[in-house]
Each structure stands twice: as C-alpha cells, then as structure tokens.
Structure 1
Amino acid sequence: MTKKRVTKIDPKEKLSPYLDHQSNRQKKKTKAKTKVSASLSQLRNERKSALLKRLGLLVGISLFAILVLGYYISPLANVKSVQIEGETDLPVKDVVTATGIKASDKVVDYLFNKQVVNNKLSQKYSEIKNVNFRVKHFNNLVIKIDEYHTKGYIKTNKGYRKILSHGKLGSQYIPWSKVSSDKPVFVGYNHEISLKETLNLFNSLPSDFQDQIKLLSGNTRRKSQVIFLMKDGNVVIGNVSTLKSKLKYYNKIKTKVGKNTLIDLEVGAFSRPLTPNEKRAYGIT
C-alpha cells in the first residue's frame, strides 16, 4: 500500500496577503486620521488668528473713536486763535471778524465745512477767490487766502483800487506806494461801462503788448477811442473795435521812431512826435 504524500502549508504564507492588506488599510486609516486631525487643528488656529485680528481691529477703532470724541468735547478742540496766510492787502482783523469764528467753536468743524466761511469772505471782499484751513498745535486755526489775479489798477478820488481778473474792482483803496509798477493804471474812467469795455479790450490783447502798457486813459474824445501810455514813453491811440487787428503795424512803426512819439492806429497807421502840451497831459517828462 502506497503512502499518500502530505504537503505542508504554512498558514502565515496563505494569510500574508490578507494580513498585509489589513495592515495597509490600518496604516492608511491611521494616516488619514492624522491628516484630518492636523487639518482641523490648522483650521482652528486660522479661525482663532482671524478672530483675534478682528477683535484687535475693533478695539483699535473703538480706542481711536474714544480719543477723537474725547478731543472734540474737550476745551483743547476749541478755537484758540485765527491766523491769516497769503499775500493780501486786506485788513487782517476785519477779515477774521468777517469769518464769524468764535472762541467756543470747534476747530474740526471748520476743516469739514470751509464753504460757509468761504462764502462769507468772498461776498464781503471781491479779492478773495477761495480759502483753505489747516490746524496748527491742535487748536490754532490757519486760514490760507487765495486771491484773484490783479490785472491793473484804477485811480479814484480816494486812492487806487485793484482791477481783478474776474472783472470786479478790489474792495480796498490802496495808496500809490502799494501799486505795482508791473501793472497798468487806468485813469479817467468815471463810468463802469467804459471801464469794462476797455478792460475787455485789454484782456484780449497779446500778453507781450500788455506788458508794455503803463497807463490807460479814459479821457478820450470819443467813446470808441482808447489811449495807452507805454512804458517806453510813447503814446498809442486806437479804436476799441479795430486796435487788436492793427497791432501788427505798431511793432513796425515802433522800430522806426524814437521816444515820446504818438502812434495813431485809430483810423490809419501813422506817427508823429508828442507836443509839449501832450507830454504834460500824459505826465511824460
């Protein structure tokens, strides 16, 4: 009788794939749990950090608001002094009075509501174009005045007044010592209409010709006539309607004549020496 051959089987070998699979699954589960745990921990930290930032921002804003409110209701926010800045001939004390600013007023109110003061001053003083405010040392209010450009001056019985770039006359009478030699003087203009017409003509002229004019005389024979005393001592006569178009002849004539010459551009275009009486009349010596 033949004996059957018995093959030995190692149970571990048969179970090894299963055990390895189970082991890998267990490792993956452990790894996944670790990742989830790490993600949750990171998320909690991020949320905590964001919460702290928002809390810090709210605290900062609250503290700032408390400081601002505390400053506003304290005497430190009251106007202590008012200072005027800018090149102006206006009386400083009168300007400050015209603003209506009181010592009990708050400095901050004027920083955000300058238009009220601007309107008050521009209505009283035609020279003022705009005003701006700034604060110095907590409660010292500084008003910066921006004035209209001065085109010239008009002579009156009380003194000289500025002719401003927007066509109005200055509110103040100034002495001859404050009249700029760079600007022309309008004399003999008793009617505002004739002054306005001449001023419109003057503004339409080339700037290089404007700079040569020393005086504009309203003492003319005709309403349409204009008389310019030039800085070189010559006198130019023209017509309100045609002078601008005839200036091309002025430069040609000017190069051929000397000082104290009358250059007439009213009808034609010619020149002649000024008479002694004309020199005295125009103040030419």
Structure 2
Amino acid sequence: MDKDKVVTIEDRIPKLKTQRKQKTNRRMIIYLSLFFLLILIFVYFQSGFSHIKKITVSGNENISDQAIIEAGKISAQSSFLNLSDVDIQKNILRMGEISSVDVHKKFYNHLLIEVKEYHRVGYLKDKGKYYPVLESGKLLKGIEKDSLPVNAPIIMDWKDRKLLKPMANELGKLTQGIVHRISEIHLDQESKDANRIILYMTDGYEVRSSITHFARKMESYPSIVQQLGPHRKGVINMDVSTYFHEFGNEEAPKSETDR
C-alpha cells in the first residue's frame, strides 16, 4: 500500500472537530431562528398588527355596511388570520335580506365582503302600516306611508299570507319598467280561485290575472297598452287568453291608495 496515501488518525482529528463544530453551529442557528420566529408570531397575535385594518362591504343598497359587519360578528379587534370565511358567510346569511355572501382576504389585513340582497318587490299594507316585501316573500319591519317610494306596488287586502311568497317570487321576475307601472295588487275576493288577482296600474288600466305564471303573462302588457292607445281605458284580462273590456260611461274603478 502506498504510504503517501495513508491518513493517520492524528491528521483526521482537526478535520473531524471542524465538521462537528459546523454541525453544532448550524443546529444552533436553526434553533435560534425557530425561537425568534415563535416570538415574532406570539408578538404578532398579541399586538395590533394582527387586527383587521380595513373592511369593505359592497353590493348592499338597503342594508348599511355596519349592520352587515355586525351580523358577521366582526370587530376591529378581530384577528385577521383567525377569521373564518365560512363562519362570516353563515352569520350574514342569517339576515333575511341577504341572498348570497362572498368573503375575500386581501393584503394588508383587508377584509372584503360582497353581498347580494333580495330585491324589494312591493309593500304589504296591514293595519295602517306598510311592510316591505322581498322577492323571497319575507316581510321587513313596517314603515310609515310617508317613507314609501312612489315606484313600488302596494299589496292590499292580502288575507291569505300563504300566497304572499309565490306573488313576491313572480314580482321578482318582472322588469323594473313593468313593476313601476303597478300601483296596487289585490286578491280577487269574488273569485272562487284563490290565485286570482286584480291589479290597478298607474296608467289607468285594470289587469285581472292569476299568480301562477304571472310574470310571463305580464311580459306582453306594454305591447298591449301600446296597441290600445292612450284614450282607451278598461280591464285587460290576462289568463288563459288575453282580452280587453273597455270601461263604459260609468266611472272607472279607482285604487284605494292615494299615491
């Protein structure tokens, strides 16, 4: 064996010591890094740096930003990283006025809440108060007549509340142009069919129809009125077949509300 290639144990000891020291130093650096990282995490969660810095609510028209934030159980002291998107969505959806919620987290500690509201399709008059009706059929807190918008129909004498939801659903399918032309909606008390309704329109016509497929039937209302012309007023029956009965010399029926 070549003696020049033989490395004695005395020659290897300094090298082994150096390698062992390097490994020890690396371990120490790793442990110190983990230690300081844990301290930083602890300080972050215990300080204001972890709190929400900004909340943006969008898509709401009838409900205030603050009401939605409170419903989501969010406060300025909430930890941004600990917030659960799913919990916020569930909490806000408990509000009857909200149909959908999307929650997004953005840098830096910015919470974005996008909501979609159910549309208000009319106002139910009951015992002198007016209750906003959502397209879902839910009633909101009653308001006084002075607060009513002029372009929303009033639902009058609606004794069968079970029919309110299907009526609201149908109103939600109408275009705003048609909704704004409806002054009042009544159940037809003289009909044996509980679904029969009478509408008083802002342009002087009376419409008789039924709740079933009401939105589809009303699609043709603007074209019917256009064909009749501005001087012919009467009853437009929109059911299985559509026909028009002109008012006679007697005074045309009037709606009950003074809009």
TM-score (ref. length: structure 2): 0.60
Identity in percent: 12
Tell me by how many angstroms 1:283 deviates.
4.3
Q: Quote the RMSD (CA, aligned, Å).
A: 4.2
CA contact (8 A) 1:107 1:135 kept: no
Quick one: which amino acid aligns to residue 169 of structure 1? K
CA distance in 2 between counterparts of 1:249 and 1:88 reads 29
Structure 1 residue 116 and structure 2 residue 71: aligned? no
Query: Is residue 2:76 matched to residue 1:76?
Result: no
Alignment of 1:106-185 (within 5 A): 106-110=79-83, 113-134=84-105, 138-139=108-109, 142-150=111-119, 152-157=121-126, 158-164=129-135, 167-169=136-138, 171-173=140-142, 181-185=150-154
Q: Is the alpha carbon distance of 1:147 and 1:188 closer, same or farther for their aligned partners in structure 2, counting shifts above 3 Å?
A: farther
Structure 2 unmatched ranges of 5 or more: 1-29
- Contact between 2:182 and 2:199, CA under 8 Å: does it hold in 1? yes
Give, in whole Å, the separation in 1 of the partners of 2:220 and 2:142.
37
The equivalent residue for 2:253 is 278
1:199 aligns with 2:172: no
Question: Partners of 1:104 and 1:204 in 2: how far apart?
Answer: 42
The alpha-carbon distance between structure 1 residues 217 and 208, as it changes in their structure 2 partners (threshold 3 A), is: closer
Deviation at 1:175, TM superposition (A): 5.5
Helix, strand or coil at the partner of 1:169: coil
Letter in 1 for 2:182: K
How is 1:254-273 mapped onto 2 (pairs within 5 angstroms)?
A: 254-258=226-230, 261-265=233-237, 269-273=243-247
Q: Residue 172 of structure 1: CA displacement?
A: 4.4
Where do 1:49-68 residues align within 5 Å?
66=37
Q: Choose 1 or 2 for highest CA Rg.
A: 1
With CA pairs under 8 Å and 6+ residues apart, which has the higher RCO, 1 or 2? 2
- After TM superposition, where is structure 1 displaced by more than 6 Å over at least 4 residues in a row? none
Unaligned runs of 5+ in 1: 1-58
* Residue 30 of structure 1: aligned partner: none
1:237 and 2:212 aligned: no
